[in-house]
Structure 1
Amino acid sequence: MESPHGAAVRAEDFGLKGPRGWAFRHVGFSAEPGALVAIEGPSGTGRTCLLLALTGRMRTTEGHAETGGLRLPRQAAAVRRIAALGPVPMVSELDPAFTVAEHLGERALLQGRYGTSPRALLRPRAERRATAEARVEAALEAAGLDPATLPKAGRTSVRDLERLEALRLSVALALIGRPRLLAVDDTDLKLSDAERAQAWGLLRSVAEAGTTVLAVCSEAPQNTQVVRTAPATGDTAAQEPTTEEETADAFAEAGRA
């Protein structure tokens, strides 16, 4: 799959304080374009918040970062245009009632309407359809997902997918827009050792093709750049939400910060 040049990512004394305390603080690292970066730490240590902050989806309160040369949080809107989310609970989840084909068709339609230039919209419908189909095919190939191998091919419901298949579908949907940065949450959640190796192999192949990848995990594989999060202590203790309602409230608060 032909990928645009990946986005370099850098952070210095990066931190986010919400209504429940510090989600993360004192984060600093530098990653070159096309790198695979594992954000490693126990659940509840700000991993997802850091992932969303680096992709322009959460506004931080301390320090600064750059994604693709765009400064955060000031240029968050511009970062969102070059950074795509894979699976992130409460933010970019797959709809279990949708089929694989419906998800792919919807994403291709949105990309054709809002992710392309005005000149491209003036092209003949058949040409636009062919372009969309080519993008979907390339994204599926990059994600290692062949709908024909699923129980009901493209008509397979998301609820019937295995965890690794769902991860591949989420990555494919993100890659349709040809982002410079791909962000994936809970990479190793509920995967066997063999499946975990396949998941990291997938993300490594995406990075090797030129797209920078940030992946949240509980344990990073060897030979991977790692950014570690850890529980805060004392007055600045992180108090991350534990329910879906609290998660949504925390994301909303961070967005208004």
Structure 2
Amino acid sequence: MEANPDEPHGAAVVADGFGLKGPRGWAFRGIGLDAAPGTLVAIEGPSGSGRTCLLLALTGRMKAHEGHAEVAGLRLPRKMAAVRRISALGHVPGVSDLDPALTVAEHLRERALLQRRFDGSLKALLRRPAERSAAARARIDEALAAAGLDVATLPKDERTAVRDLERLEALRLSIALALIGRPRLLAVDDTDLKLSDADRAEAWGLLRSVAASGTTVLAVCSEAPEGALRISTAGTATADAPAPQADTAPADSSADTSATATPAGAPAGSTEKPDTTENTETTKNTDKSEEGDADALAEARRA
């Protein structure tokens, strides 16, 4: 089906009271979001706060249990399969990992073949082999340019193994692979992990350029950059929480469970310092939340 030229390429993402519960408690809860097409959305929070689960839920890879969300007008969790078709995962550990033994060329060729196999039109499949190869090469070159990855600068050009790539180069490759499918929504996990300040700035510059081209971007990070729409998962996960009810708050009623989009860099609300007992209980809850995230991710991989 041809795309409507009047429709924005990027997908609008809206969520209200969005929550996902794992076997040991809520991975995240009470998420609110209203992002226009072509927005860079930074999902900010500490490790174990449900950031990755939220990323996967908004791309149709995990099923939420509370509230609702819409991606390009497709309601979640009812339209998960449709959302998966218009979204793509960049770097998401444990879900879309690069194979360290494969070369850059092998990864690109494999993704182009999969794209042609599952998303190609009948007309495209009936093209002559030379035309199909030229079209695949054009898609690869377009994706590499959008991801800012110049293979000529790599140690062995396209024959460079993934294990020999620097962290930022591997991130660019993951994004290029995702962009081969020309998604309306791009999701990237651990955007700023193990990057120097200079590389972090480059990574965010890359994602800003992808968003500026029209593709909506969801990026998990420990600290949102300036200019991004910030979603915080801090304080939204609870351990061993009861089933959601209309008038029931999460188990830890002292936590702020209303996560809404705010401009990056906005001042955080002041909080009182908890006593030793509260700190101990918070640590226990965080550990359980991380276990819940791990169980939820395992379920996503099995699916």
Is TM-score (shorter-chain normalized) higher than 0.5?
yes
CA drift of 1:253 comes to: 4.0
**Matched residue SS, 1:188:** coil
Q: Secondary structure of 2:131's partner?
A: helix
Shift of 1:212: 0.3
2:111 is the counterpart of 1:107: yes
Which letter maps to 1:178? R
Shift of 1:256: 9.1
SS of corresponding position for 2:175: helix
Task: Say whether 1:61 aligns with 2:65.
Answer: yes
Q: Supply the AA of the counterpart residue of 1:90.
A: G
Residue 22 (str. 1) matches residue 26 (str. 2):
yes
Which of 34, 40, 55 is matched with 2:44 structurally? 40
**Once the two structures are superposed, what CA deviation does each residue of 1:61-96 show, in whole Å capped at 9, x if it has no partner?**
000000111000000000000000000011001000
Between the aligned partners of 2:238 and 2:111, the Cα distance in structure 1 is: 42
CA distance 1:169–1:187, shift in 2 (3 Å): same
Q: Distance in 1 between matches of 2:173 and 2:37?
A: 24
- Structure 2 match to 1:172: 176
| Match in the other structure for 2:234 | 230
TM-score normalized by the length of structure 2: 0.79
Q: How does 1:141-180 map to 2 (within 5 A)?
A: 141-180=145-184
Distance 1:175 1:37 in 2: 17
Query: Separation in 2 of the partners of 1:68 and 1:255?
Result: 24
Structure 2 gaps, min length 5: 1-7, 242-250, 252-284
Whichever of the two has the greater Rg, that structure is 2
% of aligned pairs identical?
73
Query: What residue number does 1:118 align with?
Result: 122
Structure 1, unmatched stretches of 5+, are none
In 2, are the aligned partners of 1:9 and 1:30 still within 8 Å (CA)? yes
Check if 1:250 corresponds to 2:296.
yes
Write the deviation string for residues 83-121 of structure 1: whole angstroms up to 9, x where unpaired: 000000110010000100100010011111112112211
Please tell me whether the aligned partners of residues 13 and 28 of structure 1 are also in contact (alpha carbons under 8 angstroms). yes
The one-letter code of the counterpart of 1:112 is: R
* TM-score (ref. length: structure 1): 0.93
Q: Kindly report which structure 2 residues correspond to 1:154-233, keeping only aligned pairs within 5 A, or say none.
A: 154-231=158-235, 232-233=237-238
Q: State how far apart, in whole Å, the 1-side matches of 2:102 and 2:161 are.
A: 6
Q: SS of the residue aligned with 1:222?
A: coil
Corresponding letter in the other structure for 2:43: I
CA distance in 1, matches of 2:23, 2:296: 7
Counterpart CA distance in 2 for 1:253 and 1:111 is 25
**CA distance in 1 between partners of 2:69 and 2:58 (Å):** 7
Shift of 1:251: 2.7
Over 3 Å counting, the alpha-carbon distance change for 1:233 and 1:21 in structure 2 is closer
Return the alpha-carbon distance in structure 1 between the equivalents of residues 118 and 93 of structure 2.
Answer: 24
After superposition, residues 67-146 of structure 1 pair within 5 angstroms as: 67-146=71-150
Sort the Cα spacing of 1:65 and 1:173 in 2 relative to 1 into closer, same or farther, 3 A. same
Q: Select 1:51's aligned residue among 14, 37, 55.
A: 55
SS in 2 for 1:197: helix
